[in-house]
Structure 1
Amino acid sequence: MLLRLFRLFFALALAFPTLAQASPFMDKIGLRNAIRVGLTGDYAPFSTYDPATDSYEGLDVDLAHALAKKLGVHVIFVKTSWPTLSDDLKAGKFDIAMGGISVTPAREAIGFFSHPVLSDGKTPITLCKNVKRFGTLDEIDQPGVRLVVNPGGTNEKFARAHISRATIIVHPDNKTIFDEIIAGRADLMITDAVETRFQAKRHPELCAVHPDKPFDHSEKAYWMPKDRELKALVDEWLTRLKEIGALQRKIDKWVD
Protein backbone atom coordinates (compact mmCIF):
# COMPACT_ATOMS: atom_id res chain seq x y z
CA MET A 1 0.00 0.00 0.00
CA LEU A 2 2.78 2.45 0.88
CA LEU A 3 4.59 1.40 -2.27
CA ARG A 4 1.53 2.29 -4.35
CA LEU A 5 1.35 5.73 -2.75
CA PHE A 6 5.03 6.28 -3.39
CA ARG A 7 4.67 5.24 -7.02
CA LEU A 8 1.71 7.59 -7.53
CA PHE A 9 3.51 10.48 -5.87
CA PHE A 10 6.62 9.81 -7.98
CA ALA A 11 4.53 9.68 -11.18
CA LEU A 12 2.84 12.95 -10.25
CA ALA A 13 6.15 14.61 -9.48
CA LEU A 14 7.57 13.63 -12.86
CA ALA A 15 4.45 14.29 -14.94
CA PHE A 16 3.14 17.38 -13.14
CA PRO A 17 6.03 19.23 -11.47
CA THR A 18 3.91 22.34 -10.88
CA LEU A 19 1.68 20.49 -8.42
CA ALA A 20 2.88 21.08 -4.88
CA GLN A 21 1.59 17.88 -3.30
CA ALA A 22 -1.05 15.23 -3.62
CA SER A 23 -4.36 15.86 -1.85
CA PRO A 24 -6.19 13.44 0.44
CA PHE A 25 -8.43 12.76 -2.55
CA MET A 26 -5.39 11.84 -4.64
CA ASP A 27 -4.12 9.71 -1.76
CA LYS A 28 -7.29 7.60 -2.08
CA ILE A 29 -6.57 7.06 -5.77
CA GLY A 30 -3.08 5.94 -4.81
CA LEU A 31 -4.31 3.57 -2.12
CA ARG A 32 -6.78 2.09 -4.60
CA ASN A 33 -4.12 2.00 -7.32
CA ALA A 34 -6.87 3.07 -9.72
CA ILE A 35 -8.84 6.07 -10.85
CA ARG A 36 -12.61 5.49 -11.09
CA VAL A 37 -14.15 7.03 -14.20
CA GLY A 38 -17.92 7.49 -14.44
CA LEU A 39 -19.40 6.82 -17.89
CA THR A 40 -22.99 6.57 -19.12
CA GLY A 41 -21.88 4.24 -21.91
CA ASP A 42 -24.69 5.42 -24.19
CA TYR A 43 -23.28 8.50 -25.87
CA ALA A 44 -21.25 7.83 -29.00
CA PRO A 45 -18.64 8.86 -29.95
CA PHE A 46 -17.63 9.63 -26.34
CA SER A 47 -18.49 6.34 -24.64
CA THR A 48 -20.48 3.24 -25.55
CA TYR A 49 -20.90 0.11 -23.45
CA ASP A 50 -21.07 -3.41 -24.90
CA PRO A 51 -22.76 -5.76 -22.40
CA ALA A 52 -21.66 -8.80 -24.41
CA THR A 53 -18.02 -8.08 -23.67
CA ASP A 54 -18.54 -5.91 -20.57
CA SER A 55 -16.37 -3.24 -22.16
CA TYR A 56 -16.43 0.42 -23.16
CA GLU A 57 -15.12 2.22 -26.22
CA GLY A 58 -15.03 5.81 -27.45
CA LEU A 59 -13.08 9.04 -27.35
CA ASP A 60 -13.25 9.49 -23.58
CA VAL A 61 -12.54 5.81 -22.98
CA ASP A 62 -9.24 6.25 -24.82
CA LEU A 63 -8.51 9.42 -22.87
CA ALA A 64 -9.41 7.79 -19.54
CA HIS A 65 -6.82 5.12 -20.20
CA ALA A 66 -4.30 7.83 -21.13
CA LEU A 67 -4.98 9.72 -17.88
CA ALA A 68 -4.61 6.57 -15.79
CA LYS A 69 -1.36 5.71 -17.56
CA LYS A 70 -0.05 9.20 -16.83
CA LEU A 71 -0.84 8.68 -13.14
CA GLY A 72 0.68 5.22 -13.08
CA VAL A 73 -2.57 3.61 -11.91
CA HIS A 74 -5.30 1.44 -13.37
CA VAL A 75 -8.65 2.70 -14.62
CA ILE A 76 -11.98 1.43 -13.29
CA PHE A 77 -15.08 2.35 -15.30
CA VAL A 78 -18.19 2.98 -13.22
CA LYS A 79 -21.59 2.80 -14.93
CA THR A 80 -23.76 5.85 -14.38
CA SER A 81 -26.67 7.48 -16.21
CA TRP A 82 -27.75 10.98 -17.17
CA PRO A 83 -30.60 11.11 -14.60
CA THR A 84 -28.32 9.88 -11.78
CA LEU A 85 -25.05 11.54 -12.85
CA SER A 86 -25.17 14.39 -10.32
CA ASP A 87 -26.23 12.18 -7.41
CA ASP A 88 -23.53 9.65 -8.27
CA LEU A 89 -20.86 12.37 -8.27
CA LYS A 90 -22.05 13.71 -4.92
CA ALA A 91 -22.12 10.18 -3.50
CA GLY A 92 -18.49 9.64 -4.48
CA LYS A 93 -19.18 6.69 -6.77
CA PHE A 94 -16.38 7.80 -9.12
CA ASP A 95 -13.39 10.14 -9.09
CA ILE A 96 -14.12 11.86 -12.39
CA ALA A 97 -16.99 11.80 -14.87
CA MET A 98 -16.21 11.62 -18.57
CA GLY A 99 -18.17 10.74 -21.69
CA GLY A 100 -19.34 13.95 -23.37
CA ILE A 101 -20.53 15.96 -20.36
CA SER A 102 -21.72 19.48 -21.10
CA VAL A 103 -20.68 22.29 -18.78
CA THR A 104 -23.73 23.80 -17.06
CA PRO A 105 -24.16 26.19 -14.09
CA ALA A 106 -26.07 23.53 -12.15
CA ARG A 107 -23.23 21.06 -12.55
CA GLU A 108 -20.61 23.71 -11.75
CA ALA A 109 -22.35 24.26 -8.41
CA ILE A 110 -21.69 20.62 -7.52
CA GLY A 111 -18.20 19.97 -8.83
CA PHE A 112 -15.24 21.30 -10.79
CA PHE A 113 -14.97 21.08 -14.56
CA SER A 114 -11.70 20.61 -16.37
CA HIS A 115 -10.56 22.78 -19.23
CA PRO A 116 -12.85 22.18 -22.23
CA VAL A 117 -12.15 19.15 -24.38
CA LEU A 118 -14.21 20.46 -27.32
CA SER A 119 -16.94 22.98 -28.14
CA ASP A 120 -20.39 21.99 -29.35
CA GLY A 121 -24.06 23.01 -29.50
CA LYS A 122 -27.59 21.65 -29.94
CA THR A 123 -28.85 20.95 -33.45
CA PRO A 124 -31.50 18.69 -35.01
CA ILE A 125 -31.11 15.28 -36.62
CA THR A 126 -33.92 13.86 -38.74
CA LEU A 127 -34.66 11.78 -41.82
CA CYS A 128 -32.75 13.26 -44.74
CA LYS A 129 -36.00 13.96 -46.61
CA ASN A 130 -37.13 16.21 -43.71
CA VAL A 131 -34.03 18.38 -43.33
CA LYS A 132 -35.73 21.46 -44.81
CA ARG A 133 -38.69 21.07 -42.44
CA PHE A 134 -36.70 21.52 -39.22
CA GLY A 135 -34.17 24.30 -39.75
CA THR A 136 -35.42 26.58 -36.98
CA LEU A 137 -36.89 26.14 -33.53
CA ASP A 138 -40.13 27.74 -34.73
CA GLU A 139 -40.41 25.17 -37.52
CA ILE A 140 -39.82 22.40 -35.01
CA ASP A 141 -42.20 23.73 -32.36
CA GLN A 142 -45.40 23.02 -34.26
CA PRO A 143 -48.43 20.87 -33.38
CA GLY A 144 -48.02 17.38 -34.76
CA VAL A 145 -44.22 17.40 -34.70
CA ARG A 146 -42.78 14.63 -32.51
CA LEU A 147 -39.45 15.44 -30.83
CA VAL A 148 -37.72 12.54 -29.10
CA VAL A 149 -35.35 13.10 -26.17
CA ASN A 150 -33.32 11.00 -23.75
CA PRO A 151 -34.15 11.69 -20.10
CA GLY A 152 -32.16 13.57 -17.50
CA GLY A 153 -29.53 15.39 -19.55
CA THR A 154 -29.08 18.66 -21.38
CA ASN A 155 -31.04 17.42 -24.42
CA GLU A 156 -34.25 17.11 -22.42
CA LYS A 157 -33.56 20.40 -20.64
CA PHE A 158 -33.08 22.20 -23.97
CA ALA A 159 -36.24 20.70 -25.43
CA ARG A 160 -38.43 21.64 -22.48
CA ALA A 161 -37.02 25.18 -22.45
CA HIS A 162 -37.74 25.79 -26.15
CA ILE A 163 -40.59 23.49 -27.17
CA SER A 164 -44.18 24.05 -26.06
CA ARG A 165 -46.42 23.13 -29.02
CA ALA A 166 -44.68 20.08 -30.48
CA THR A 167 -44.92 16.75 -28.68
CA ILE A 168 -41.89 15.74 -26.61
CA ILE A 169 -41.38 11.98 -26.45
CA VAL A 170 -39.04 10.69 -23.73
CA HIS A 171 -37.18 7.57 -24.85
CA PRO A 172 -35.22 5.90 -22.04
CA ASP A 173 -32.50 4.20 -24.12
CA ASN A 174 -30.06 6.61 -25.73
CA LYS A 175 -28.49 3.76 -27.72
CA THR A 176 -31.72 3.07 -29.63
CA ILE A 177 -33.20 6.55 -29.69
CA PHE A 178 -32.24 7.19 -33.31
CA ASP A 179 -34.09 4.05 -34.37
CA GLU A 180 -37.27 5.84 -33.26
CA ILE A 181 -36.74 8.42 -36.00
CA ILE A 182 -35.87 5.81 -38.64
CA ALA A 183 -38.96 3.76 -37.72
CA GLY A 184 -41.22 6.81 -38.00
CA ARG A 185 -42.20 6.89 -34.33
CA ALA A 186 -40.55 10.31 -33.95
CA ASP A 187 -39.72 13.10 -36.40
CA LEU A 188 -36.45 14.36 -35.02
CA MET A 189 -34.12 14.73 -32.07
CA ILE A 190 -32.21 17.80 -30.92
CA THR A 191 -28.82 16.84 -29.53
CA ASP A 192 -25.18 17.88 -29.66
CA ALA A 193 -23.83 18.52 -33.14
CA VAL A 194 -20.98 16.07 -32.61
CA GLU A 195 -23.50 13.29 -31.99
CA THR A 196 -25.62 14.22 -35.02
CA ARG A 197 -22.56 13.94 -37.26
CA PHE A 198 -21.60 10.60 -35.77
CA GLN A 199 -25.09 9.10 -36.02
CA ALA A 200 -25.62 10.40 -39.56
CA LYS A 201 -22.52 8.47 -40.62
CA ARG A 202 -23.83 5.32 -38.95
CA HIS A 203 -27.38 5.69 -40.33
CA PRO A 204 -27.55 6.83 -43.99
CA GLU A 205 -31.27 7.59 -43.57
CA LEU A 206 -30.48 10.35 -41.09
CA CYS A 207 -29.02 13.80 -41.70
CA ALA A 208 -27.68 16.39 -39.29
CA VAL A 209 -29.36 19.77 -39.71
CA HIS A 210 -26.83 22.66 -39.85
CA PRO A 211 -24.35 21.05 -37.38
CA ASP A 212 -21.90 23.87 -38.14
CA LYS A 213 -24.46 26.42 -36.94
CA PRO A 214 -26.08 24.95 -33.81
CA PHE A 215 -28.85 26.67 -31.87
CA ASP A 216 -26.56 27.37 -28.91
CA HIS A 217 -23.00 26.90 -27.71
CA SER A 218 -21.71 24.54 -25.06
CA GLU A 219 -18.46 22.94 -24.02
CA LYS A 220 -17.62 19.34 -23.20
CA ALA A 221 -15.32 18.81 -20.24
CA TYR A 222 -14.52 16.38 -17.44
CA TRP A 223 -16.43 16.72 -14.18
CA MET A 224 -15.04 15.92 -10.76
CA PRO A 225 -15.51 16.64 -7.04
CA LYS A 226 -14.27 20.00 -5.77
CA ASP A 227 -10.70 18.92 -5.23
CA ARG A 228 -8.32 21.61 -6.48
CA GLU A 229 -5.34 19.28 -6.83
CA LEU A 230 -7.24 16.83 -9.01
CA LYS A 231 -8.57 19.65 -11.18
CA ALA A 232 -5.08 21.13 -11.56
CA LEU A 233 -3.71 17.74 -12.51
CA VAL A 234 -6.39 17.08 -15.13
CA ASP A 235 -6.11 20.61 -16.55
CA GLU A 236 -2.34 20.36 -16.88
CA TRP A 237 -2.65 16.93 -18.51
CA LEU A 238 -5.18 18.25 -21.05
CA THR A 239 -3.03 21.31 -21.76
CA ARG A 240 -0.06 19.09 -22.54
CA LEU A 241 -2.14 16.85 -24.79
CA LYS A 242 -3.27 19.94 -26.72
CA GLU A 243 0.25 21.32 -26.99
CA ILE A 244 1.64 18.17 -28.58
CA GLY A 245 -1.42 17.57 -30.78
CA ALA A 246 -2.36 14.31 -29.06
CA LEU A 247 -5.81 15.51 -28.03
CA GLN A 248 -6.73 16.57 -31.56
CA ARG A 249 -5.52 13.24 -32.93
CA LYS A 250 -7.81 11.43 -30.51
CA ILE A 251 -10.73 13.69 -31.47
CA ASP A 252 -10.06 13.15 -35.18
CA LYS A 253 -10.09 9.38 -34.60
CA TRP A 254 -13.61 9.43 -33.19
CA VAL A 255 -15.22 12.67 -34.37
CA ASP A 256 -15.56 13.82 -37.95
Structure 2
Amino acid sequence: MQVKALLPLSWVALTTLLCTSLGLNAQTNSPDRLNRIMQSQTLRVCIWPDYFSISARHPKTGRLEGIDIELAHEFARDLDVELEFVETHFGRFMDDLEADACDIGMFSIAITDARAQRIDYSEPYLASQMYAVSTRTHPGIQQWSDIDQPGAIVCVQEGTYMESQMRSSLQHADMMVVKDPREREQAVMSGMADVFITDYPYSRKVLRFYDWARLIEPPASMTERPFRYAYAVAKGQPQWLARVNRFVSDIKQDGRLRKAAEANDLGPIVLEEVAPPH
Protein backbone atom coordinates (compact mmCIF):
# COMPACT_ATOMS: atom_id res chain seq x y z
CA MET A 1 0.00 0.00 0.00
CA GLN A 2 1.35 3.41 -0.98
CA VAL A 3 1.46 6.04 1.69
CA LYS A 4 1.23 9.63 0.43
CA ALA A 5 2.98 12.21 2.51
CA LEU A 6 0.70 15.03 3.53
CA LEU A 7 2.15 18.52 3.32
CA PRO A 8 1.51 20.80 6.27
CA LEU A 9 -1.34 23.18 5.62
CA SER A 10 1.05 26.14 5.64
CA TRP A 11 3.08 24.59 2.80
CA VAL A 12 -0.06 23.87 0.81
CA ALA A 13 -1.21 27.45 1.25
CA LEU A 14 2.22 28.78 0.34
CA THR A 15 2.40 26.62 -2.79
CA THR A 16 -1.08 27.70 -3.84
CA LEU A 17 -0.23 31.34 -3.27
CA LEU A 18 2.99 31.02 -5.26
CA CYS A 19 1.27 29.36 -8.19
CA THR A 20 -1.47 31.96 -8.16
CA SER A 21 1.11 34.74 -8.07
CA LEU A 22 3.05 33.24 -10.95
CA GLY A 23 -0.15 32.85 -12.91
CA LEU A 24 -1.07 36.47 -12.35
CA ASN A 25 2.39 37.65 -13.37
CA ALA A 26 2.24 35.52 -16.49
CA GLN A 27 -1.13 37.03 -17.33
CA THR A 28 0.10 40.55 -16.60
CA ASN A 29 3.10 40.15 -18.90
CA SER A 30 1.20 38.16 -21.49
CA PRO A 31 1.83 39.00 -25.14
CA ASP A 32 -1.96 38.88 -25.52
CA ARG A 33 -2.50 42.19 -23.73
CA LEU A 34 -3.80 43.76 -26.93
CA ASN A 35 -6.45 41.04 -27.10
CA ARG A 36 -7.37 41.70 -23.47
CA ILE A 37 -7.73 45.40 -24.22
CA MET A 38 -9.97 44.66 -27.17
CA GLN A 39 -12.07 42.23 -25.12
CA SER A 40 -12.48 44.65 -22.22
CA GLN A 41 -12.96 47.55 -24.65
CA THR A 42 -10.87 49.72 -22.31
CA LEU A 43 -7.37 51.15 -22.53
CA ARG A 44 -6.01 51.87 -19.05
CA VAL A 45 -3.39 54.63 -19.15
CA CYS A 46 -1.16 55.51 -16.21
CA ILE A 47 -0.48 59.24 -15.87
CA TRP A 48 1.06 61.59 -13.35
CA PRO A 49 -1.59 64.32 -12.98
CA ASP A 50 0.85 67.07 -11.96
CA TYR A 51 3.08 67.20 -15.04
CA PHE A 52 2.56 70.61 -16.64
CA SER A 53 1.94 70.51 -20.40
CA ILE A 54 2.13 66.70 -20.29
CA SER A 55 -0.63 65.29 -18.08
CA ALA A 56 -1.84 67.85 -15.56
CA ARG A 57 -5.12 68.41 -13.77
CA HIS A 58 -6.33 71.98 -14.23
CA PRO A 59 -6.40 73.61 -10.77
CA LYS A 60 -9.77 75.27 -11.35
CA THR A 61 -11.73 72.87 -13.53
CA GLY A 62 -10.08 69.62 -12.47
CA ARG A 63 -9.96 68.61 -16.12
CA LEU A 64 -6.93 66.65 -17.32
CA GLU A 65 -4.93 68.39 -20.04
CA GLY A 66 -1.57 68.16 -21.77
CA ILE A 67 0.06 66.52 -24.75
CA ASP A 68 -0.22 62.97 -23.42
CA ILE A 69 -3.82 63.42 -22.38
CA GLU A 70 -4.61 64.35 -25.98
CA LEU A 71 -2.47 61.54 -27.40
CA ALA A 72 -3.98 58.96 -25.03
CA HIS A 73 -7.38 59.87 -26.46
CA GLU A 74 -5.93 59.44 -29.95
CA PHE A 75 -4.54 56.00 -29.08
CA ALA A 76 -7.86 54.86 -27.63
CA ARG A 77 -9.59 56.17 -30.75
CA ASP A 78 -7.18 54.24 -32.97
CA LEU A 79 -7.91 51.08 -30.98
CA ASP A 80 -11.64 51.87 -30.95
CA VAL A 81 -11.90 51.39 -27.18
CA GLU A 82 -12.80 53.45 -24.12
CA LEU A 83 -10.10 55.33 -22.23
CA GLU A 84 -9.48 55.08 -18.48
CA PHE A 85 -6.82 57.16 -16.72
CA VAL A 86 -5.00 55.69 -13.72
CA GLU A 87 -3.12 58.15 -11.52
CA THR A 88 0.45 57.31 -10.54
CA HIS A 89 3.80 59.09 -10.10
CA PHE A 90 7.42 58.59 -11.04
CA GLY A 91 8.27 56.79 -7.83
CA ARG A 92 5.51 54.20 -8.33
CA PHE A 93 4.62 53.82 -12.00
CA MET A 94 6.85 50.79 -12.63
CA ASP A 95 5.19 48.97 -9.73
CA ASP A 96 1.80 49.86 -11.21
CA LEU A 97 2.75 48.54 -14.64
CA GLU A 98 4.09 45.30 -13.17
CA ALA A 99 0.98 44.91 -10.99
CA ASP A 100 -1.31 45.33 -14.01
CA ALA A 101 -2.85 48.53 -12.66
CA CYS A 102 -2.66 49.94 -16.19
CA ASP A 103 -1.76 48.86 -19.70
CA ILE A 104 0.66 51.66 -20.53
CA GLY A 105 2.35 54.67 -18.98
CA MET A 106 1.75 57.80 -21.07
CA PHE A 107 3.27 60.79 -19.31
CA SER A 108 6.54 61.53 -21.13
CA ILE A 109 8.68 59.02 -19.23
CA ALA A 110 12.39 59.74 -19.57
CA ILE A 111 14.42 56.77 -20.79
CA THR A 112 17.04 55.56 -18.30
CA ASP A 113 19.11 52.38 -18.09
CA ALA A 114 17.84 51.70 -14.56
CA ARG A 115 14.19 51.87 -15.59
CA ALA A 116 14.87 49.74 -18.66
CA GLN A 117 15.71 46.87 -16.31
CA ARG A 118 12.05 46.73 -15.29
CA ILE A 119 10.01 48.18 -18.15
CA ASP A 120 10.05 48.33 -21.93
CA TYR A 121 10.02 51.69 -23.69
CA SER A 122 8.38 52.71 -26.89
CA GLU A 123 10.34 54.66 -29.47
CA PRO A 124 10.94 58.19 -28.10
CA TYR A 125 8.75 61.04 -29.28
CA LEU A 126 10.07 64.05 -27.31
CA ALA A 127 13.58 65.16 -26.29
CA SER A 128 14.59 67.90 -23.86
CA GLN A 129 17.51 69.70 -22.33
CA MET A 130 17.84 70.28 -18.58
CA TYR A 131 16.93 73.64 -17.07
CA ALA A 132 17.65 75.16 -13.68
CA VAL A 133 15.31 77.36 -11.66
CA SER A 134 16.52 79.82 -9.04
CA THR A 135 15.14 83.04 -7.60
CA ARG A 136 15.47 86.35 -9.41
CA THR A 137 17.20 87.79 -6.36
CA HIS A 138 19.73 85.00 -5.79
CA PRO A 139 23.14 86.69 -5.45
CA GLY A 140 25.25 83.82 -6.72
CA ILE A 141 23.28 81.92 -9.37
CA GLN A 142 23.07 83.83 -12.62
CA GLN A 143 24.13 81.30 -15.24
CA TRP A 144 24.63 77.56 -15.68
CA SER A 145 28.30 77.61 -14.67
CA ASP A 146 27.33 79.02 -11.25
CA ILE A 147 25.44 75.87 -10.28
CA ASP A 148 28.15 73.28 -9.61
CA GLN A 149 30.08 75.29 -7.05
CA PRO A 150 31.15 74.46 -3.47
CA GLY A 151 28.35 75.25 -1.02
CA ALA A 152 25.59 75.27 -3.63
CA ILE A 153 22.57 73.01 -3.06
CA VAL A 154 20.82 71.54 -6.09
CA CYS A 155 17.30 70.15 -5.58
CA VAL A 156 15.88 67.31 -7.70
CA GLN A 157 12.76 65.17 -7.55
CA GLU A 158 13.15 61.55 -6.51
CA GLY A 159 12.89 58.96 -9.25
CA THR A 160 13.38 61.41 -12.13
CA TYR A 161 16.05 61.51 -14.79
CA MET A 162 17.31 64.73 -13.22
CA GLU A 163 18.19 62.87 -10.04
CA SER A 164 20.41 60.32 -11.78
CA GLN A 165 21.93 62.95 -14.08
CA MET A 166 22.83 65.32 -11.25
CA ARG A 167 24.07 62.50 -9.05
CA SER A 168 26.58 61.52 -11.71
CA SER A 169 27.58 64.99 -12.91
CA LEU A 170 27.79 67.24 -9.83
CA GLN A 171 31.35 67.52 -8.57
CA HIS A 172 31.21 70.38 -6.07
CA ALA A 173 27.58 71.21 -5.24
CA ASP A 174 25.45 69.15 -2.86
CA MET A 175 22.18 67.52 -3.92
CA MET A 176 18.82 67.61 -2.14
CA VAL A 177 16.28 64.95 -3.14
CA VAL A 178 12.55 65.52 -2.56
CA LYS A 179 9.50 63.39 -3.34
CA ASP A 180 6.86 65.97 -4.23
CA PRO A 181 7.61 68.39 -7.10
CA ARG A 182 6.19 71.25 -5.06
CA GLU A 183 8.94 70.67 -2.52
CA ARG A 184 11.51 71.72 -5.13
CA GLU A 185 9.91 75.13 -5.48
CA GLN A 186 9.48 75.52 -1.74
CA ALA A 187 13.13 74.60 -1.16
CA VAL A 188 14.34 77.28 -3.57
CA MET A 189 11.89 79.93 -2.35
CA SER A 190 12.83 79.30 1.30
CA GLY A 191 16.56 79.33 0.60
CA MET A 192 17.07 75.68 1.56
CA ALA A 193 18.26 75.04 -2.00
CA ASP A 194 19.85 77.35 -4.53
CA VAL A 195 18.32 75.82 -7.66
CA PHE A 196 16.13 72.95 -8.73
CA ILE A 197 16.64 71.07 -11.97
CA THR A 198 13.78 70.40 -14.34
CA ASP A 199 13.02 69.80 -18.01
CA TYR A 200 11.52 71.79 -20.86
CA PRO A 201 7.85 71.00 -20.13
CA TYR A 202 8.07 72.08 -16.49
CA SER A 203 10.10 75.15 -17.48
CA ARG A 204 6.99 76.35 -19.34
CA LYS A 205 5.11 76.37 -16.03
CA VAL A 206 7.91 78.32 -14.38
CA LEU A 207 7.83 81.02 -17.05
CA ARG A 208 4.05 81.26 -17.00
CA PHE A 209 3.24 81.26 -13.29
CA TYR A 210 6.26 82.01 -11.10
CA ASP A 211 7.18 85.69 -11.06
CA TRP A 212 9.80 85.00 -8.38
CA ALA A 213 11.70 82.52 -10.53
CA ARG A 214 14.69 82.87 -12.80
CA LEU A 215 14.95 80.20 -15.50
CA ILE A 216 18.56 79.30 -16.27
CA GLU A 217 19.08 77.68 -19.63
CA PRO A 218 22.06 75.45 -20.41
CA PRO A 219 24.86 77.01 -22.48
CA ALA A 220 24.67 76.91 -26.25
CA SER A 221 27.53 74.39 -26.26
CA MET A 222 25.17 71.83 -24.70
CA THR A 223 23.41 71.03 -27.95
CA GLU A 224 22.49 67.45 -27.09
CA ARG A 225 19.05 66.92 -25.60
CA PRO A 226 19.75 64.24 -22.98
CA PHE A 227 16.14 63.52 -22.06
CA ARG A 228 14.43 61.12 -24.42
CA TYR A 229 10.75 60.70 -23.55
CA ALA A 230 8.76 57.60 -24.40
CA TYR A 231 5.79 55.52 -23.33
CA ALA A 232 6.29 52.52 -21.04
CA VAL A 233 4.82 49.03 -20.79
CA ALA A 234 5.51 46.02 -18.61
CA LYS A 235 8.15 43.63 -19.89
CA GLY A 236 7.39 40.45 -21.80
CA GLN A 237 4.78 41.92 -24.17
CA PRO A 238 6.40 42.18 -27.62
CA GLN A 239 3.10 42.31 -29.52
CA TRP A 240 1.72 45.08 -27.33
CA LEU A 241 4.99 47.02 -27.52
CA ALA A 242 4.94 46.71 -31.31
CA ARG A 243 1.40 48.15 -31.38
CA VAL A 244 2.48 51.05 -29.16
CA ASN A 245 5.45 51.74 -31.44
CA ARG A 246 3.14 51.68 -34.43
CA PHE A 247 1.04 54.37 -32.76
CA VAL A 248 4.14 56.49 -32.05
CA SER A 249 5.22 56.17 -35.69
CA ASP A 250 1.71 57.02 -36.90
CA ILE A 251 1.40 60.23 -34.88
CA LYS A 252 4.83 61.37 -36.02
CA GLN A 253 3.95 60.84 -39.67
CA ASP A 254 0.36 62.07 -39.75
CA GLY A 255 0.98 65.27 -37.78
CA ARG A 256 -0.96 64.45 -34.62
CA LEU A 257 2.18 64.58 -32.47
CA ARG A 258 3.23 67.96 -33.84
CA LYS A 259 -0.30 69.33 -33.44
CA ALA A 260 -0.60 68.20 -29.80
CA ALA A 261 2.89 69.49 -29.02
CA GLU A 262 2.22 72.93 -30.48
CA ALA A 263 -1.07 73.14 -28.60
CA ASN A 264 0.80 72.59 -25.33
CA ASP A 265 3.84 74.83 -26.01
CA LEU A 266 6.11 71.84 -26.60
CA GLY A 267 6.87 72.25 -30.29
CA PRO A 268 10.67 72.67 -29.86
CA ILE A 269 11.10 69.24 -28.24
CA VAL A 270 9.25 67.06 -30.76
CA LEU A 271 11.24 64.16 -32.21
CA GLU A 272 10.24 63.81 -35.83
CA GLU A 273 10.12 60.52 -37.69
CA VAL A 274 13.45 59.78 -39.35
CA ALA A 275 13.01 58.87 -43.00
CA PRO A 276 14.62 55.54 -43.94
CA PRO A 277 17.71 55.78 -46.18
CA HIS A 278 17.12 55.27 -49.89
Within a 5 Å distance, the mapping from 1:48-59 to structure 2 comes to 48-49=56-57, 55-59=63-67
- 1:69 aligned partner, one-letter code: R
Cα distance change on mapping 1:245 and 1:101 into 2, 3 Å? same
Match of 1:194 in 2: 201
1:209 corresponds to 2:223? no
1:172 corresponds to 2:213? no
Report how far residue 102 of structure 1 moved. Answer: 0.5
Q: 1:90 is matched with which residue: 81, 98, 103?
A: 98
Residue-by-residue CA offset, 1:163-184 (whole Å, 9 max, x unaligned): 3543323333214532443444
Cα distance change on mapping 1:70 and 1:211 into 2, 3 Å? farther
Report how far residue 94 of structure 1 moved. Answer: 1.2
Residue-by-residue CA offset, 1:86-127 (whole Å, 9 max, x unaligned): 222222221111112101122223222112111112221222
Moved more, 24-33 or 173-182: 173-182
Residue-by-residue CA offset, 1:66-96 (whole Å, 9 max, x unaligned): 1111111111111212112222222222111
Report how far residue 148 of structure 1 moved. Answer: 1.7
Moved more, 30-39 or 197-206: 197-206
CA contact (8 A) 2:148 2:172 kept: yes
1:222 corresponds to 2:222? no
Of all paired residues, the percent bearing the same amino acid is 27
Query: Structure 1 length normalisation: TM-score?
Result: 0.79
Residue-by-residue CA offset, 1:176-233 (whole Å, 9 max, x unaligned): 5324434444321112133223322222332322257458612111111232222222
Within a 5 Å distance, the mapping from 1:124-203 to structure 2 comes to 124-130=132-138, 133=141, 135-136=143-144, 139-163=146-170, 165-175=172-182, 177-203=184-210
CA RMSD in angstroms comes to: 2.8
Match of 1:12 in 2: none
Cα distance change on mapping 1:254 and 1:132 into 2, 3 Å? farther
Q: Could you tell me how far apart the structure 1 residues matched to 2:106 and 2:218 are?
A: 23
Q: Could you tell me how far apart the structure 2 residues matched to 1:113 and 1:212 are?
A: 29
Query: Structure 2 length normalisation: TM-score?
Result: 0.73
Match of 1:25 in 2: 33
Please, which runs of 5 or more residues in structure 1 have no aligned partner?
1-22
**1:170 aligned counterpart, secondary structure:** strand
- 2:84 aligned partner, one-letter code: I
Tell me the matched-pair count: 234
Moved more, 174-183 or 150-159: 174-183
Q: Which structure: larger Rg? A: 2
Residue-by-residue CA offset, 1:18-54 (whole Å, 9 max, x unaligned): xxxxx51112112221111111222212112368866
Q: Could you tell me how far apart the structure 2 residues matched to 1:238 and 1:212 are?
A: 31
Q: 2:252 is matched with which residue: 232, 239, 242?
A: 242
- 2:184 aligned partner, one-letter code: I
Q: Could you tell me how far apart the structure 1 residues matched to 2:264 and 2:201 are?
A: 10
CA contact (8 A) 1:197 1:211 kept: no
Q: Could you tell me how far apart the structure 1 residues matched to 2:50 and 2:82 are?
A: 23
Match of 1:121 in 2: 129
- 2:161 aligned partner, one-letter code: T
- 1:231 aligned partner, one-letter code: L
CA contact (8 A) 1:141 1:165 kept: yes
